[in-house]
A and B are shown apart, each in its own frame.
Chain A
Amino acid sequence: MTTVRLGPFNRVEGDLEVTLTLDAAGFVTRAQVNSPLFRGFERILQGRAPLDALTIVPRICGICSVAQSMAAAQALADWARIKPVPNGALVAQTVLAVENLADHLTHFFLFFMPDFTHSAYRTMPWYEAAVRRFAPYRGESAARWLAARAQWFHLVGLLAGRWPHTLAVQPSGTTRTIHAMEQRELLRMVGQMRRYLTESLFGDTLDAVLALDSADALLAWAEGRESDAAFFIQVAHALELFTVGRAYDRFLSYGAYRAWPAGVWDRATAATAPLDEAAIVEEVAASWLGGSASHPAEGETVPWLERPDAYSWCKAPRYHGAPAETGALARAVVAGVPLARDLVQRWGGSLFSRVIARLWECARIVQWVEAWLTEIDVKASFIEPVVWPNEGRGVGLVEAARGALGHWLEVANGRIQRYQIIAPTTWNFSPRDQTGQPGPLEKALEGLTAGAGAMPFVHHVVRSFDPCMVCTVH
């Protein structure tokens, strides 16, 4: 038996270390995922004015910034028992969706696909094409994406001032009034992304991509097609990656995009259950944190370096006591998207299913963003004044690019008494809980080959979750 420690892990957001125990044949028998950084944002928020959360929480992360803002704005709105005005809700949802699409494709081009230019694959017939498209710094497809991304964020510049770290997303709406001419300018910008996705990412219309409803349809679609998405599918086919990297096949979503419901879907029963927020518990048995398992509304963040058996700064969220996976695949599966359901039924929640769910969601986002921007009533207001209570609690549950993001707020005497956050990667990269159950990534790595001479499948699987470690340890 040998131990391999991978870290610091490059091409992920933040700090990550993975420790693998291998048997004599080189198969992973146990994986430990360590988030080796303490940040303490929940403590920074204590004692501040409640609305200060809107300034502080986006700074948890430079890539999930809007998602954090949205969760805080919703928690504050819940605390004040208000809802954003319709225009504000549309703008905030648009800004979040813009960030999600940008995160998905930045992950695909800059974090995930470069692994296929690894020298272990140099004898593969597709290797030269992978290098041409995805080699770090030189990949032609990556360069095309970066140009499209810069244009895409102009939407946020107009709707919310800048990205990241906007203060435009407020509990009762958004701060920027959008005029009729600007509404048209925004739609033109969305058209640019539609063209990029059509011509470069998919090599097909968005309608055709969205109509793909099964694994078979997807494979047939990709065959012989010239595009970045089709290339990934062809390579995954050649390497037989369809079933690699499955965790528990239990998926959690807080509901997204004004259309997809919150819930939990389990492959074992193939049944969807509505979300029961009270069933969420954060455990700390393997975390360098004091306290005990608690619902986030009662949670605390107190470092305790001496905790026996601890190996991560990440807490271990569990749903009804079980680990759950979250992300683009989870929200599509919970919503009943036929392609996502069929992929998971057939091959499980594998690295392939995760990546396809992200790409497919990009097509969906562009269509939704067009609809939301059209729905804006340029004669109506975007925000209204609020009278804030002095006490109370609030919860904000949103879907960030990487999945379910929750903020739990408690206010006493007009100040933040408690603020607890569960980020998507906190779910996916959680350490073991008090019964010893591994977190989703820890489970997904078991049985893979690793160590000297092995194909870089471990890297594909780790990055297939699109981890954001700085959010994880917030």
Chain B
Amino acid sequence: MHDTLWQSCGLQFTEKQRGGLLGKQYRSREGWPVINVAGCPIHPAWLVEWLIALADGVVTVDDLDPWGRPLFYAQHLVHHGCPRNEYYEFKASAETLGQLGCMMEHLGCKGTQAHADCNQRPWNGNGSCLKGGYPCIACTEPGFEAPGHPFQETPKVAGIPVGLPTDMPKAWFVALAALSKSATPKRVRRNALSDRVVELPGQRGKEPKP
């Protein structure tokens, strides 16, 4: 209960703090803590598949992560399957919305930190935030609503994004980023700053004769 205006709190976590309305120790009669099908919004299949699995008795508390999120979707990162992965690899970044490049460096994208399978499990046919052209705000993460910076901007210290991948030493990331930036193909660098492909992938061998 972190604010007297809203008097609101979570059931078993309030943001990142364990606790909340039911208390830290709460367990259901069958031994379950609060299951947090986290996301704002959630993918409908996260809920439906989990409920069916629960009803079928094929899941246990071991199928939850420490935040109580079902692992079947929270063991992935939004980054996995992101259509902009090549731009990420070469640190070829979009500078404004609508461009094809990676949105991590400038536009606030948290896909490398957000636990969800959004780019593997399509939304509304074949969509996702990234496919829609806008950054992941990590809406499956505790505290996503108050990131401490504008949602569509990447906070930086000395030009380096603060929110780097969670399980990678920072120095390595910086070194790797510098290396990959220096090796970025012209195609990737140009397309990253365009709203459509302007430079085609190369083709091995000679071009067919006219």
Verify that A and B bind, or say they do not: yes
Interface residues of A (CB under 8 A from B): 38, 40, 43, 48-49, 51-52, 54-56, 59, 62, 153-154, 156-168, 170, 173-177, 179, 303, 381-385
Per-residue A-contact encoding for B106-133, CB less than 8 Å = 1, 0 else:
0000000000000000111111111111
| B195 interface residue (CB < 8 Å to A) | yes
Of the candidates B130, B152, B153, the one having the most CB atoms from chain A within 10 angstroms of its own CB is: B152
Q: Which B residue sits closest to A176, measured CB to CB?
A: B133
B124, B152, B153, B195: the one within 8 Å of A381 (CB): B195
| B179 interface residue (CB < 8 Å to A) | no
Q: Which residues of A contact B41 (CB under 8 A)?
A: 62, 164-165
Q: Which residues of B contact A167 (CB under 8 A)?
A: 129, 132, 134-135, 137, 151-152
Are B127 and A51 closer than 8 Å at their CB atoms?
no
Asked, given contacts A51-B152, A158-B126, whether A175 binds B134 with beta carbons under 8 Å apart, the answer is: yes
**DSSP class of A's interface residues: helix, strand, loop or mixed?**
loop
| B172 interface residue (CB < 8 Å to A) | no
Min CB gap B164→A, angstroms: 22
Q: Which A residue sits closest to B6, measured CB to CB?
A: A40
19 contacts between A and B (CB under 8 A): A49-B153, A62-B41, A154-B125, A154-B126, A156-B124, A157-B124, A159-B132, A161-B133, A165-B139, A166-B132, A167-B129, A168-B132, A168-B134, A170-B97, A173-B98, A177-B98, A177-B133, A383-B96, A384-B98
Asked, given contacts A158-B127, A383-B98, whether A177 binds B195 with beta carbons under 8 Å apart, the answer is: yes
B124, B125, B132, B150: the one within 8 Å of A175 (CB): B132
Per-residue A-contact encoding for B132-154, CB less than 8 Å = 1, 0 else:
11110101000001000011110
Are A162 and B129 closer than 8 Å at their CB atoms?
yes
Are B133 and A162 closer than 8 Å at their CB atoms?
no
Interface residues of B (CB under 8 A from A): 5-6, 40-41, 96-98, 122-135, 137, 139, 145, 150-153, 195-196
**DSSP class of B's interface residues: helix, strand, loop or mixed?**
loop
Min CB gap A78→B, angstroms: 19
Taken together as a complex, chains A and B put the C-alpha atoms of A173 and B137 apart, in Å, by: 20
Tally the A-B contacts, defined by beta carbons under 8 Å. 102
Taken together as a complex, chains A and B put the C-alpha atoms of A51 and B122 apart, in Å, by: 27
Are B195 and A382 closer than 8 Å at their CB atoms?
yes
Taken together as a complex, chains A and B put the C-alpha atoms of A153 and B130 apart, in Å, by: 17
Q: Which residues of B contact A384 (CB under 8 A)?
A: 98
Q: Which residues of A contact B128 (CB under 8 A)?
A: 161-162
Q: Which residues of A contact B96 (CB under 8 A)?
A: 383, 385
Min CB gap A92→B, angstroms: 13
Taken together as a complex, chains A and B put the C-alpha atoms of A384 and B95 apart, in Å, by: 11
Are A166 and B125 closer than 8 Å at their CB atoms?
no
Q: Which residues of B contact A156 (CB under 8 A)?
A: 124, 127
Q: Which B residue sits closest to A152, measured CB to CB?
A: B124
Asked, given contacts A170-B97, A177-B195, whether A153 binds B135 with beta carbons under 8 Å apart, the answer is: no
Taken together as a complex, chains A and B put the C-alpha atoms of A157 and B125 apart, in Å, by: 6
Asked, given contacts A158-B126, A168-B134, A385-B96, whether A179 binds B196 with beta carbons under 8 Å apart, the answer is: yes
Q: Which residues of A contact B130 (CB under 8 A)?
A: 161
Are B98 and A175 closer than 8 Å at their CB atoms?
yes
